[in-house]
Structure 1
Amino acid sequence: MGHGEGRGEGSGGENSVNVEKHLKSVVVDNGEAGDNEAKNMSSERQSSKWSPYRRQMVLEWHNVNYSVAFPGKRSWNPFQKTETQESKKFTILKNVSGLVRPGELLAVMGPSGGGKTTLLNALAGRANFVPEGSILFDGKPRVADTRRKIGYVMQDDVFFTNLTVRQTLEITARLRLPRDVPHKQKMERVDYILQRLGLLRCQNTIIGDQFRKGISGGERKRTNIADVLLVEPSILILDEPTSGLDSNTALTVVRLLKELASEGRTVITTIHQPNSMMFAEFDKLLLLASGQTVYYGPAKEAVSYFSRLGYECPYGFNPADYFIALLTNEDFGQSEPIRQKLIDAWKGYELDADLDYKMYVPSLTPPLKVGNIRQPSLINFVSLLGEHIFRRRENYLRSLQFFRVVFVALIVSFIWFRIPHDINYLMDLMGALFFAGLFWGFFTMFQALTTLPTEKPVLSKERASGAYRLSAYFLGKALVEVPLDLIYPFFFSVYIYWMLNLNPQASRFILFLIFVGITVFTAQSIGLFIAAVFMDFRKSQTLAAVFMLTSMLTGGFYVNDSQMPVWIRWIQYLSFIHYIYDSFMLNQFEGEYFPCPPGNTSGVTSSGLSCPMTAQDIYSMRGVISNIGRGGNIAIVLAYGIAFRYFAFLCLKYLNRSHKQKRRV
């Protein structure tokens, strides 16, 4: 039922007609100045051949409330459990109601901090947003399957920036489309969405970031919408889809939303002060201020409503700008806040008006079965993630990392070239072994620090949309990414092993490669854990540097454990570098014998070492833990890697969520 029913006619109605005519004239006069891309998208439009679980759906919400509480200060006395100050309650939404039908475009507007994004999160059923009140879909409460019917477009365009537009959509199709849909049909769906949203021209261009040029801002926004439209949601919810765009591109996006709504979708979007041409595209308007409704109803009748309250929009003034100015008290010089007057006025009007969410009677049609939309199996996900990571690292061998590894390998081979099997060069050989473990510990750990912070936004988006679980992501990441990260260490180790003239036995060479691989795995695990704790590269980098320097100093090469103070000697057992170094030493010197140099009768070499020396003498001299053997040392390092990787998973699952989550009241 129309919002204007039940009201008297008069100047307010005439003003509404005049404003509507004005808006239409603005659209006619300036329509040719719009983005030609919108025309291209319309010309490319065609009917979708595949729509397995798309259905029209009415979304309604009644008396939605959402509050958060901040705990008060606790007493300094640890035995006093009561709080010395009462917790503060902050209301974000208060008794907000509304309804959107298929084919309608609802714009949610209001000043910053008015609760717009919180309302969208509540309607979409996002994690940590469980409001009071009722949210109904075709008159029925939310069920587990409802999330699959809602497409949520975040304000930030979160993507893997190394991927092209097509690659991004193909990965989404494989992850989120039903498992029983053939691969060919999934790719056809990608082709259709690319064509429908006018992205064919940039489909093979990378998304890009501040370091690499990619697609434009408008193309990024349409890619964000395309990523959601792939699964044909019944309800499309968008948070500030025009933010950061120029007026021309923003108008193109709004017209696209209008087209999507006209195809039978239920579309809700927040928007910040649209221009007159954008405002004319909206079917409904919901104005929020301080978490409460100021106006809800047809957008074209909003001017008439405010006019009857004594706030008449000046002729030629953009209604959206006028409403926001009213709610922020800009340029009106009023001593008493207008915002509260408007909130109180709506409360009185809402009681008597025949609003659509009061009159709506849901259909008795049973819900449409959506088919098999289970999350992909772990095997499918691992293979998909492997392709994902491979594409993201397709320039792996062309990056600066390649130059860094090659340069270090050359320097190492120049310094320790073909070390003679002589007791006079024993310390040189031990230094080379220590550096091999230390280099890959540093290199891999600091490389891992950057992965989680950059992937976390995409991971959060995909998890919220139900694409995959955190456990599947983390296990798939380990199964696929670790082998990729072993490419450089493998070639580095093969090169330096023979250039440094290490133990020539084939079994020792194979064990050396295994030890380097486990070093990479463990260092990467520790780096992931540190990154998961902070999710900030600078903080993570600081802690990682302290950790690695401590591990290096207590690694067994610089200081013998017998020379360390007793009270600090235990730290060496926490250093994974210590166990790696011991493994290298055992692998290199087991069964070896170093006689005194020819002509030496003093039993002391020029470097100050006693001679002759057996392998056990070397172990005792350097404090090598030889009683547990190579297997024991490397097992400890591997246990470190598994434990820290599991701790990283727990931090991602609980720690970062607790940072964001507020206690609901």
Structure 2
Amino acid sequence: MAMPPNSVVPTTEHTTTTTTTSSKPMEVPVKPHHDARSPSFLRLGLYPITLKFEDVVYKVKIEGKGTCCGGEVSMKEKTILNGVTGKVSPGELLAMLGPSGSGKTTLLTALGGRLKGKLSGKITYNSRPFCGSMKRRTGFVTQDDVLYAHLTVTETLLFTAMLRLPNSISQDEKVEHVEQVIAELGLTRCKNSMIGGPLFRGISGGEKKRVSIGQEMLINPSLLLLDEPTSGLDSTTAQRILTTIKRLASGGRTVVTTIHQPSSRLYHMFDKLVLLSEGSPIYYGPASTALEYFSSVGYGTSITVNPADLLLDLANGIAPDVMQEHEQGETTEKDQKLVRQKLHTAYETNISTRLKADLCGLDVSNHINQAKEVATRNHVSSEQWCTSWCHQFHVLLLRGVRERRFEPFNRLRIFQVISVAILGGLLWWHTPTSHIEDRVAMIFFFSVFWGFYPLYNAVFTFPQERRMLIKERSSGMYRLSSYFLARTIGDLPLELALPTAFTFILYWMGGLKADPATFVLSLLVVLYNVLVAQSLGLAIGAILMDVKQATTLASVTTLVFLIAGGYYVKQIPPFIVWLKYLSYSYYCYKLLLGVQYNENDLYECSKGVHCHVVDFPAVKSVGLTNLTVDLLIMAMMLVGYRLVAYMALQKVQ
């Protein structure tokens, strides 16, 4: 039986267990666990929410068959949801049941305010539309557990708490709240274990699911939405997960979950049920009376079955009395369509009219008054963000550093760069000043290698974090600008340390001008080039958000920049000469030459004959003048590419 809406989450007894883990990552210090009735917990008082959705219709456009000659493609509309109606009150657990493709996840996404596209109908929260403050009171657990593999359970939840809980709550209280959630969800045993990923083993699937639920529980949500929380789990683990969800609902929360094929034990834990068939509802009401309802409309069964199995058969258009025929492959699609039509007609006759009348007469004033009292008592802010920009930036930067501290790819990159630098230094070992061709080639190698290597690394940055970015941005965890700067700045230490080490090795081994000032200027030009190349890589990755497509485009771009860089082709045809002005490698090459040489420098062009360096073809093609303009152009590229990347991320959904 549901508890009153204004009740708080019941406390549970917590047993002390010994934490064991195979790896000992950097641990976040936590305080000993306190009782859930502590003041910091009560400061997050519940905001009772009554969720109503009426005649929800969602359609998408799909491509049809086009004409073979004109190349025109006809667009057709497909109905995903067709007139779904229902209501969930605080303390209730509503389950959405239906076959794959029936629209469960789409409806859940719509209820969470995350659905983009042509949505009609009415969805209200205490008779009000979805807004930013409601987003902060809504927890949304996706079907896939999108978590950072190299963070521990405690670190994952603590960083989430630091981002999602307001600044009015102290750091110690946030740590304490994380410990409470860990104990509430039974994660104490694995709290110092890494999440794990495809390349190494971490916590179990059920524990990952509980961590995902815990991330949403940190904000003490009044509305909790879960997309197939038991998918891929064994029956015992699924039972534990749903028991936890049921307990959360009994604390006064409004809980909605989709579920594919629950066992009979899980089914009887639901308070209400929505049964969908091809996007249309065929049942809404108490889960305990579903079989009785279908029996009353002529689809009962005399044998004992799992209620969920029978309901899924009906949603697929398979009547109980023809199950045996279906198993023998004798039922036709026409028969299934007829069953669905009858069930939909029965729903319209027996449920829909009564349900809509009930929703129209629903008085939620008590809930609104309770919500206002709770909001006033807890100083609930109507601002869009509950934390400052600087706080978000600091937390995201710290999280990024901790997540990437174990990446083996970093060690591989260090080996690659150092080995190439040493090999290059041996090949250009103390090149004499008279060997102008080799020295200019070495300078061009600097500009090419550190124009392309950072670009390819930066291309992976945003596509790899696309799912995490969508998840966290949908929850309103942080501003995009704070994420963008934290993510790009967090990579700078390694991005700048590697070219610095490379330049130290190759510059002195190669025998370039042995002058400290010249070396420092050359290093600064190389680092400048790295930042510009990284900016272009970020832009390409953010625009395409697909690793394969981004690397393909990066390959074509680097090839063009290589050819037009001013070293291989000296006389580019006038109609395509503009390409070299798009190549940052061209400007880097020119700046490095300007640092090493001036217009009065000479070299031995033949025995006993000296020529001006500026007349050497590879130098003459780019020149040694207007270096300040080149610096400004590269600055425009650096800023422009990053602005393009930022604007592209704003469109990521």
TM above 0.5: yes
User: Out of 391, 394, 408, which is 2:420 matched to?
Assistant: 408
SS of corresponding position for 1:453: helix
Q: Distance in 2 between matches of 1:396 and 1:351?
A: 55
Matched, 1:634 2:631: yes
Matched, 1:587 2:595: yes
Of residues 332-341 and 181-190 in structure 1, the stretch that sits farther from structure 2 once superposed is: 332-341
Matched, 1:384 2:385: no
Q: 1:492 maps to what in 2?
A: 502
Q: Distance in 1 between matches of 2:526 and 2:73?
A: 55
User: Out of 358, 361, 365, which is 2:363 matched to?
Assistant: 361
Matched, 1:66 2:74: no
Tell me the amino acid that sits aligned with residue 89 of structure 2: R
Q: 2:256 maps to what in 1?
A: 268
Of residues 329-338 and 99-108 in structure 1, the stretch that sits farther from structure 2 once superposed is: 329-338
User: Out of 179, 199, 202, which is 2:187 matched to?
Assistant: 199
Q: 1:650 maps to what in 2?
A: 647
| Pairwise CA distance, 1:285 | 0.8
Does the 8 A contact of 1:273 with 1:321 survive in 2?
yes
SS of corresponding position for 2:83: strand
Q: Distance in 2 between matches of 1:524 and 1:271?
A: 43
Q: Distance in 2 between matches of 1:48 and 1:75?
A: 68
| Pairwise CA distance, 1:324 | 0.9
Tell me the amino acid that sits aligned with residue 343 of structure 2: L
Does the 8 A contact of 2:460 with 2:547 survive in 1?
yes
User: Out of 577, 586, 597, which is 2:585 matched to?
Assistant: 577
Going from structure 1 to structure 2, the CA distance change for 1:450 and 1:165 (only over 3 Å counts) comes to same
Q: Which runs of 5+ in 1 are unaligned?
A: 3-37, 597-602, 658-665
User: Out of 30, 47, 50, which is 2:36 matched to?
Assistant: 47
Does the 8 A contact of 2:567 with 2:618 survive in 1?
no
| Pairwise CA distance, 1:227 | 0.8
| Pairwise CA distance, 1:303 | 0.7
Tell me the amino acid that sits aligned with residue 184 of structure 1: D
Q: 1:525 maps to what in 2?
A: 535
| Pairwise CA distance, 1:456 | 1.2
Does the 8 A contact of 2:599 with 2:624 survive in 1?
no
Q: Distance in 2 between matches of 1:192 and 1:433?
A: 59
Tell me the amino acid that sits aligned with residue 400 of structure 2: I
Q: 1:340 maps to what in 2?
A: 341
SS of corresponding position for 1:131: strand
Q: Distance in 1 between matches of 2:307 and 2:117?
A: 31
Q: Distance in 2 between matches of 1:565 and 1:139?
A: 68
Going from structure 1 to structure 2, the CA distance change for 1:340 and 1:410 (only over 3 Å counts) comes to same
Tell me the amino acid that sits aligned with residue 383 of structure 1: H
SS of corresponding position for 1:394: helix
Q: 2:292 maps to what in 1?
A: 304
Q: 1:57 maps to what in 2?
A: 49
SS of corresponding position for 2:149: coil
Of residues 256-265 and 161-170 in structure 1, the stretch that sits farther from structure 2 once superposed is: 161-170
Question: Normalization by structure 1: what TM-score?
Answer: 0.84
Q: Distance in 1 between matches of 2:142 and 2:288?
A: 27
Q: 2:621 maps to what in 1?
A: 623
Q: Distance in 2 between matches of 1:204 and 1:430?
A: 54
Does the 8 A contact of 2:614 with 2:623 survive in 1?
no
Q: 1:118 maps to what in 2?
A: 106
| Pairwise CA distance, 1:547 | 1.0
Q: Distance in 2 between matches of 1:485 and 1:326?
A: 58
Q: Distance in 2 between matches of 1:349 and 1:121?
A: 27
User: Out of 597, 608, 611, which is 1:613 matched to?
Assistant: 611
Going from structure 1 to structure 2, the CA distance change for 1:140 and 1:534 (only over 3 Å counts) comes to closer
Does the 8 A contact of 1:46 with 1:196 survive in 2?
no
Tell me the amino acid that sits aligned with residue 346 of structure 2: A
Does the 8 A contact of 2:440 with 2:618 survive in 1?
no
Matched, 1:291 2:283: no
SS of corresponding position for 2:77: strand
User: Out of 397, 404, 410, which is 1:393 matched to?
Assistant: 404
Tell me the amino acid that sits aligned with residue 617 of structure 1: D
Q: 1:417 maps to what in 2?
A: 429
Q: How many residues align?
A: 602
Q: Distance in 2 between matches of 1:169 and 1:282?
A: 28
Q: Distance in 1 between matches of 2:15 and 2:207?
A: 12
Tell me the amino acid that sits aligned with residue 341 of structure 1: K
| Pairwise CA distance, 1:301 | 0.6
Q: Distance in 1 between matches of 2:448 and 2:240?
A: 54
Q: 2:564 maps to what in 1?
A: 554
Tell me the amino acid that sits aligned with residue 105 of structure 1: L
| Pairwise CA distance, 1:286 | 0.6
Does the 8 A contact of 1:194 with 1:203 survive in 2?
yes
SS of corresponding position for 1:236: strand
Q: Distance in 2 between matches of 1:507 and 1:99?
A: 73
Going from structure 1 to structure 2, the CA distance change for 1:377 and 1:352 (only over 3 Å counts) comes to closer
Map 1:150-169; keep pairs closer than 5 Å. Answer: 150-169=138-157
Q: Distance in 2 between matches of 1:171 and 1:88?
A: 44
Does the 8 A contact of 1:238 with 1:270 survive in 2?
yes
Going from structure 1 to structure 2, the CA distance change for 1:305 and 1:611 (only over 3 Å counts) comes to farther
Tell me the amino acid that sits aligned with residue 207 of structure 1: I
| Pairwise CA distance, 1:64 | 1.9
Q: Distance in 2 between matches of 1:452 and 1:571?
A: 27
Could you report, residue by residue, the CA deviation over 1:206-241 in whole angstroms, capped at 9, with x for unpaired residues?
A: 222211222211111111111111111101001111
Q: Distance in 1 between matches of 2:470 and 2:346?
A: 40
Matched, 1:317 2:305: yes
Does the 8 A contact of 1:149 with 1:234 survive in 2?
yes
Going from structure 1 to structure 2, the CA distance change for 1:504 and 1:258 (only over 3 Å counts) comes to same
Q: Distance in 1 between matches of 2:82 and 2:241?
A: 30
User: Out of 210, 228, 244, which is 2:232 matched to?
Assistant: 244
| Pairwise CA distance, 1:476 | 3.1
Q: Distance in 2 between matches of 1:260 and 1:499?
A: 66
Q: Distance in 2 between matches of 1:291 and 1:479?
A: 45
User: Out of 454, 457, 462, which is 2:464 matched to?
Assistant: 454
SS of corresponding position for 2:49: coil
Going from structure 1 to structure 2, the CA distance change for 1:129 and 1:192 (only over 3 Å counts) comes to farther
Q: Which runs of 5+ in 2 are unaligned?
A: 3-11, 18-32
Does the 8 A contact of 1:57 with 1:266 survive in 2?
yes
Q: Distance in 2 between matches of 1:362 and 1:100?
A: 12
Tell me the amino acid that sits aligned with residue 47 of structure 1: A
| Pairwise CA distance, 1:379 | 1.8
